[in-house]
Amino acid sequence: MLAVKERVLQTLQNASVVKKLFLVFCMISLIPLLISVLAFHKSASNALEQELGANTLEILKQVDSRLGSFIQETERMANMVRFGEATINFMDLKEQNDDLFTIQTFGDIRKLLWAIASLRSYLEGIYIINDHGLMVYANTENRLVKPAYDFQSQGWYKDILSNKNFRLYPVREQDYLDRQPVVSFAGRIFDVNRNQDRGTLLINFNPDVISFMSENIQLGKTGYVFLMTPDGRKVSPTGKFPEGLIRLPRFAEGLKQQDSGHLIIPYEGVKTMVSFYTSPSTGWKIVGVVPFDEMAEGIQNVRFMLYVIIALAAVLIAFMSIFLSRAITRPLKLLEDNMLQVESGNFTTKVEVGSGDEIGRLGRRFNRMVSELENMREEIYLSKLREYRLDMLHREAELKALQAQINPHFLYNTLNTITCIGEVNEVEEISVISGCLAKMFKYSISPNHFASLSDELDHVNSYIKIIGMRFRERIQYHLNVPDDLLKARVVKLTVQPIVENCVNHGLTPKLGRGNICIDIYASGETLIIRIADDGVGIAEQRRAELSEQLIQIGAPEARITEHIGLLNVRQRLHMHYAGQGILRLSSKKDQGTVVEISIPLEWHS
């Protein structure tokens, strides 16, 4: 290795100046170009990968939307069965006999099941098993269940008993009928009057109903979508199911770390994009698999163009390097020729060099050197001047930033000063209003996005005090909140904008007194904030428009020209709680308006 290095250095040392300059020009031009091209290609590839991953994820969400609609429709069908009078009567039966009530109950419930089953495609059968061991059902082709079948001993049935809530279960065999595969929507039937579970409802579908969810979904030319359970089992027996991909450690680890996203995995010798999304309604994984090159034809074009650019740039750099190296060394060649003439005895030759570089300075006097030094000094001075100007601009930007910080602080101190003046001059209205406004301003400009429920309600109280000064006894404020919820964490400025809407749009136009009631309570892991007024309410058409706009995540702000506080709060709830923050609006003309906010119950540190 050292010998090769020494040989290369010796070759360069003996090479002509033209060749050395040519190599230097090529290196200082091509190396940055190659680095820039590689960086651009990598950046473009990453950006394209993220864009393709996001687009594929949106396609998977379409599958989840279909799945969610199917579950909602099936749940409505299940509710028709669960809460039917015949079903409630069937829960009380302990044996099937010739009693008139028993015969009539079986007849009514079979009529209900057949009426529902006949109107649903893909439906294989509906089964009701009460906790006394009796079963009634309706299925396609009127097939008979195996006699004396013990559901209680089956693992899948035990799973339904333990989960209780209705949910969609992955494919399994109907071992109690014909062992054909089905997908089940099942859960426990809860008797509200007795406050206990009294039976099980089982609705079986042909597995093709799951395949229908991803029907017409196109990913590239050969890509496909499949569904799987969190533990890697099939949801439906039909369609593609890449067991080799599922067994890859990187695939399993990627799905474990996050609920949705995409991975680039070598699969079957092909660079493959695997996008996945976790269905909120079932917990199943919706996975899209497509060769990356099929989705990334654009990057192939970019890569080709980069190759063309590099080739053209290399040719241009080579020609420019030859031209510049010869132009630079031409005076040296003339100097070399004249020196040969001097060696031959011709002392009358002169070298006239018109350039101002090192070669030209060889034949000039000392004052030329001084002149050059003066030019260098001037260059240094101009460089220092430019640095000084940049420093001044930087300091000016810092000063403006400091002034921008001082202005809110100055306003807050001014409000406190007005409060003190009101107290000194015994003007209670000025003292109260400015004091409350100062507290509200301080709370609003604090950098934190979250606050405790107690601080948020203090902010509302300050606003109510200001409104009280304006309306006196006309507006009454009522608050009902348990003490143990005051430390709950909420998004800052959530309640006050809604209360302000109540005052401006509900109570101000109303004749006579009005009331604002805030009720706060916890429901499981959810914090409910209910804000109601008895004002003029909202016309039905306008209320429907507002409700529709509020439930549309990401709706443009320009669409709502009033009640802007509702939109602001709804958008911040959506951003901070990843879609788990809900705002509902209900109102009747001349009866009042109710706004209900539901957010995850968290505690303020």
Q: C-alpha dihedral over 159, 163, 168, 174, to 10 degrees?
A: 20
Q: Which of 208, 131, 124 is nearest to 174 (CA)?
A: 124
Q: In the numeric block, which tokens belong to residue 459?
A: 């902010």
Tokens of 301: 């074009």
DSSP for 239-283, written as a single string: S---HHHHT-HHHHHHHHH-SEEEEEEEETTEEEEEEEEE-TTT-
- Domain ranges in the chain are 83-209, 366-445, 449-600
Please report which helix (H) or strand (E) contains residue 289, including its range: strand 285-291
Strand partners, 527: 522, 599
Please, what sign has the CA dihedral across residues 494, 496, 497, 498? positive
The two structure tokens encoding residue 386: 């430019």
Overall pTM surpassing 0.85 (yes/no): no
CATH class of 83-209: alpha beta
Which residue numbers in the chain have pLDDT < 70? 1-22, 25, 30, 37, 40-41, 44-45, 47-48, 295-304, 306, 321, 323-378, 381-383, 385-428, 553-564
The single-letter code of the amino acid at 123 is L
- Residue 530 contacts residue 519 (beta carbons within 8 Å): yes
Coil/strand/helix, residue 290: strand
Q: Which residue type sits at 180?
A: Q
Q: DSSP letters of 478-516?
A: EEE--GGGTTBEEESSSHHHHHHHIIIIIITTSSS-EEE
Q: Are 476 and 510 in contact (CB under 8 A)?
A: no
Residue 84: in which H helix or E strand, if any? none
Query: If you ran DSSP here, which 8-state letter would residue 190 be given?
Result: E
Q: Residue type at 343?
A: E
Nearest-angstrom CA–CA distance, 345 and 491: 96
**pLDDT tens-digit map of 284-297:** 888 888 887 776 66
Residue 593 CA, chain-centre distance (Å), reads 32
Q: Which residue has the tokens 């290095």?
A: 5
Whose CA is closest to 177, among 222, 206, 147, 135? 147
- The three-state secondary structure class of 103 is helix
In the beta sheet, which residues pair with residue 328?
none
| Residues in Cβ contact with 408 at an 8 Å cutoff, skipping those fewer than 6 apart | 441, 445
Q: What is the structure's pLDDT at 531?
A: 95
How far apart, in whole angstroms, are the C-alpha atoms of residue 540 and residue 543? 5
Fold designation for 449-600: Heat Shock Protein 90 (3.30.565)
Dump pLDDT digits (tens) for 223-242.
888 888 888 888 877 777 88
Helix axes 540-551, 564-576, angle to 10 degrees: 20
- Do 92 and 134 contact (CB within 8 A), yes or no? no
Instruction: Say if 83-209 and 449-600 have the same CATH topology.
Output: no
Question: Strand (E) positions, 359-408?
Answer: none
State CA 471 to chain mean position distance: 44
C-beta of residue 70 within 8 angstroms of C-beta of residue 214? no
Reported for 310-317, long-range contacts at CB under 8 A and 24+ positions apart, including other chains, are: 310/33, 310/34, 310/37, 313/29, 313/30, 313/33, 314/30, 317/25, 317/26, 317/29, 317/30, 317/33
